[in-house]
Each structure stands twice: as structure tokens, then as C-alpha cells.
Amino acid sequence: MTETTTPDYFFMPDVPIQPFQFPGLKTSHTLFIKREDLTHPVISGNKFWKLKYNLQAARESKKDTLVTFGGAMSNHIVATAAAGKENNFKTVGIIRGEELATKWEGNLSLQEASELGMTFYFVPREEYRLKERSEHIEKILDTIPNHYLIPEGGTNKLAVKGASEILTEKTSDFDLITTAVGTGGTLSGLSVGAKEHQHIMGFPALKNAEFLVKKILNLTDIENFTVILDYHFGGYAKITSELIDFINDFYRLNRIPLDPIYTGKMMFGLKEMIKNGEIDSDKKILAIHTGGLQGIREMNKQLKHKNRPIIIT
């Protein structure tokens, strides 16, 4: 191991803010997208920002292993594996679903995390739901010396601090900032980082996401955000042909790829809201591209298997 120098994480990646259009929609709204998907080749989008201060804290407390939680399609698992490798931490993933223990190698996201050095524990869904409060998981954690625990999806106060840095002076002219939502950490960060005149709109990728509002209010105390519950497409990692068509049309028109789990749903929702006249036409809108493109490979593999149209890249 080499002597620790200034952590890589303290450079501030400056990604493009690009204009875009919605396929099949003429509108006078100002539409731009901040390409956080270009922040880092693997630790893409919001995950980079959410890990930034957690890595610093892990390093400062002299921990040598990062432990975190995720499902089989988790971008956060892959991002943590990559961040650990780059920053000289061992990484452990506690993965939802015991059944994956014998077949995880068939999952392209878990395969990539493993290649980046992550080791896995597969736990039953009931235990996973309890996280650190599960005795089963507590026993696993007891066997991992000197670890730094990062919660599911990477969301904690330090993640919010990092995500707040997605908004800068360069984004201060926009009125409305939109983001995809999973655990709500990124939306909370944008809420904290916003200027007084800015409003944040979040589109959860999961069903029955009302509970997120309370959770977000625990992470930011500024009520400058709205959570839009209508564009989950049936639930987390669930998709429809309409969504795939939209993602492909958006790509053909703008040459900007969207992922099917998060950013595709957010952009679809934003388009619908504009179309329905739910957003004033003088608004300057900035969509945050939170990344997640690594998940396309596994989704396409599953779509091919079912003989359905795939996401073009």
C-alpha cells in the first residue's frame, strides 16, 4: 500500500450542463440536464457525491473496510466496490435475497462489484429489512473487524452534505431542479444546496413512496421540495414497454442515455407534467442526471431473455 496522499475525492468534477428536448413535445420551458452520469466511469452520478464525505470519515477514523447494503440491481453496491478499490478500502456487500447465494455470478452488477474486490453476504429478505437491527446481520458485522458502515443506498447526513455540492454557482439561474429518488438522500442534498428561489422536485422509483417525505424532512429541514408519486411504473426496477420506448426516443433525439430504474422514470414524469400543464412555462428547469447507466446491461440481459425490446446504447 502506498502512503496516503490527498484523497481523490476532493477534486470537484465539473460536468456539462446541456440543453435537451423531449421527444414529441414542443414547449417554451427552458430545459437543461446536469450530466452527473459523467462524474466518474463507475462511481457514477449521485453515488460519487454520497460517498465523498463517508470515505473521508472512514479514512479519518482509520477504518479499513467499507460495509454496506443493497439489492441485486443496486448502483450503490457497485459504486461502493469501486470507491473502495480506488481508495484502498476492502469492501463487503450485504445483499438482499438468500437465493442469490448460488446464482449471483449471473447478475452483471454483482459480478462487476465482485471483480472490483467486494465480498458478499446474502441474507434472507426478512433479515435484510431489519438491517443493523437484525441479529443475523449483527453477527455478520461482528466478524468484520474495523469496518465503516454505510447505510442502504448510501444515505446518511454525510451523503446529504456531499449531494448538496451537486448544486453550484453554475446552477443558480435555474428555478426548478428535478431528480430521481430512491432513499431520498440526493433530494435532501439538493434541498440543502438550493438557493432561496429554487424548488426541488423528486420522482421516486418505487411504489408507495409517501413515507419518503418524512424521511427527507429528517435529512433537510427546508421545505423547498415536492415528491411526485405517480411515475414509479409499478415499483422499484419494474419497467414497461412505454418507458423503454421513451428512453430510446430520448436517446435518439439528444444522444443522452437514461437508465430504466431511475433517470428514465424521472424524465418521463417531467415530460408528462409539462405536457399536462402542471409546470409554469416560464420555468427554467434543470434535471439532474444521477447516473445509474451500469444497470442497463443487466436490464437488457433480462429483456432479451423475455424477447422484449432493449435499451439502445
Ligand X SMILES: *Cc1c(COP(=O)(O)O)cnc(C)c1O
Question: Which residues lie near ligand X (CB under 6 A)?
Answer: 45-46, 75-76, 153, 155, 180-187, 259, 262-263, 290-292
Neighbours of 265 (CB within 10 A): 26
The residue (of 136 and 238) whose beta carbon lies closer to ligand X is 238
Closest separation between CB of residue 2 and ligand X, Å?
30
CA distance 189 to 164: 4
* Closest CB to ligand X among residues 184, 193: 184
- Smallest separation (angstroms) from ligand X to the CB of 292: 3
The three grid cell numbers given for residue 294, joined into one nine-digit string? 451500469
CA distances from 71 to 3, 141, 179, 207 (A): 34, 18, 21, 16
Q: From CA 91, how far away is CA 156, in angstroms rounded? A: 18
For residue 180, the minimal CB distance to ligand X (Å) is: 4
Closest CA to 250 of 76, 98, 23: 23
Of 193 and 292, which CB lies nearer to ligand X in the complex structure?
Answer: 292
CA dist 123 and 79 (Å) reads 20
Comparison of 45 and 193: residue with beta carbon closer to ligand X = 45
Q: Which is nearer to ligand X, 84 or 260 (CB)?
A: 260
Minimum CB distance to ligand X, residue 213 (Å): 13
Alpha carbon distance 270, 30 (integer Å)? 13
The least CB distance from residue 304 to ligand X, in Å, is 22
Q: Closest distance between ligand X and the C-beta of residue 40, in Å?
A: 12
Q: How far is the CB of 26 from ligand X (least distance, A)?
A: 28
- Cα(160)–Cα(215) distance, rounded to whole angstroms? 12
H helix or E strand, kind and range, residue 55 = helix 46-60
Which grid coordinates belong to 208?
408507495
Q: Using CA atoms, how far apart are residues 231 and 106, in angstroms rounded to an integer?
A: 29
Closest by Cα among 199, 92, 87, 198 to 150: 92
Closer residue to ligand X (CB): 27 or 251: 251
Nearest residue (CB) to ligand X, 142 versus 221: 221
User: Which residue's beta carbon is nearest to the bound ligand X?
Assistant: 292
* Largest Cα–Cα separation, the chain: 58
